[in-house]
Amino acid sequence: MTSEPRAARPPVPRTPPAPAGPGLRPSTIQDVAREAGVSRAAVSKVIRNAYGVSDHMRTQVEAAIERLGYRPRVAARAMRGASFTLGFEVPQVGNDFLTMIVDGATEALAATPYEMIIAPLGRDQKSDVAINSLADRQVDGIVAISPRVDPAWLDQIAEHTPLVMIGRHDRSDRYDTITGDDRSGADQVMSHLFDLGHRRIAHLTIHPSRPEPPWAGQAGEEPHVARTAVYRERMRARGLEPVVVHTMFDGSEAHAATRTLLASPEPPTAIFAGNDTLAIGVLSAVAEAGLDAQDVTVVGYDDVPIARHPLVSLTSVDQSGITLGREAVRLLLERLAGRTEPVRYEAPAVLHVRRSSAAPRQP
């Protein structure tokens, strides 16, 4: 017994959601994603002209946007703060100085309806991933702390989401920048060490193993780069050979690097650490070697709370992390209120001298 083939069922026509109009619900980004057959994050990337979007995906999403009459609510969000969230890209978890920045931002947000979303970087994660993740959540504004990304890419982000950069000395017309006066701070450190009589001064700073970006030297000078440049300039001006030692972010590597320095034929009598996390590692190695400040003076940077502890008493440069966080929120709120002119805020750097620095011991 045979049966005749079943007739093919005609396809059900796809009816797109109606575009926004009088009395109708405006199309949402989720409607666009459903219409284009892609994720909501993919739609966000197309709207923001993010890196890595294929031509095919762009065509799909743009066609869906046109069919639905969808208008990204970026301008409205910037004016009204529709999501009432601000995103913070944080390059390290556990760094006391970055915690100070977040604490300052939290204080500034306390009297507002806004909440903070923190996007920390994973160990091998790139800054643009964290910033993209915040933009995809449609936060009302983003604070990025010294990310290693192209300033032109940040300009693209700032076209759609108000952005404040902390740490990098960028000059952009589209986003605001907040920095400490890194050159003044490093200059104060070097003057202090020279005035004490030190000549064999080493500088311990962040490792440059990450590839230098193509814009390096053109824009976006990072804090550690500026501090190292001043160190080299001041040493050479006195006819002294700079000794720059690179390490990763944590104090354990700074501890190991310091032990190597102390075992050298002519160990330094002073070590200028690029931040306090590194300086604590240096102090630990100096103490383990049975040495004190007259043997090896240690100076840090950031003046985190542990630096002021009487058992640590670390000489350090204060650039007021709390203030940086407060100012970042202030600038974002101004952007949300309609300001479009870029602001460049620079916090003063002040050296606080404590017991970790002393004149070198006389032979």
Please name each of the domains of the chain with its CATH number.
Answer: 29-72 (1.10.260.40), 75-180+321-347 (3.40.50.2300), 182-319 (3.40.50.2300)
pLDDT bucket at 135, cuts 50 / 70 / 90: confident
* Least confident window among 164-168, 181-185, 196-200, 352-356: 164-168
Q: How far apart are CA 231 and CA 223, in angstroms?
A: 13
Residue 48 confidence (pLDDT): 63
User: How much is the average pLDDT of 338-350?
Assistant: 94
Instruction: Enumerate residues 6+ apart whose C-beta is below 8 A from 181.
Output: 319, 346, 347, 348, 349
- Asked if pLDDT for residue 169 goes beyond 60, the answer is yes
Share of the chain above pLDDT 90, in %: 55
Residue 125 confidence (pLDDT): 61
Q: How far apart are CA 162 and CA 131, in angstroms?
A: 12
pLDDT bucket at 25, cuts 50 / 70 / 90: low
- Asked if pLDDT for residue 91 goes beyond 80, the answer is yes
Residue 51 confidence (pLDDT): 59
Report the b/e string of 127-153 with b at 16+ CB within 10 A: bbebbbbbbbebbbbbbbbbbbbbbeb
Residue 249 confidence (pLDDT): 74
Residue 208 confidence (pLDDT): 58
Residue 80 confidence (pLDDT): 43
First and final CA of the chain: distance in angstroms?
Answer: 111
User: How much is the average pLDDT of 39-61?
Assistant: 80
Q: How far apart are CA 250 and CA 294, in angstroms?
A: 25
Region of residue 232 (left: phi > 0; alpha: psi -120 to 50; beta: else): alpha
pLDDT bucket at 71, cuts 50 / 70 / 90: low
- Asked if pLDDT for residue 24 goes beyond 60, the answer is no
Q: Is the pTM of this model over 0.85?
A: no
Residue 3 confidence (pLDDT): 40
Residue 40 confidence (pLDDT): 83
- Asked if pLDDT for residue 218 goes beyond 70, the answer is no
3-state secondary structure (DSSP) of residue 362:
coil
Residue 295 confidence (pLDDT): 97
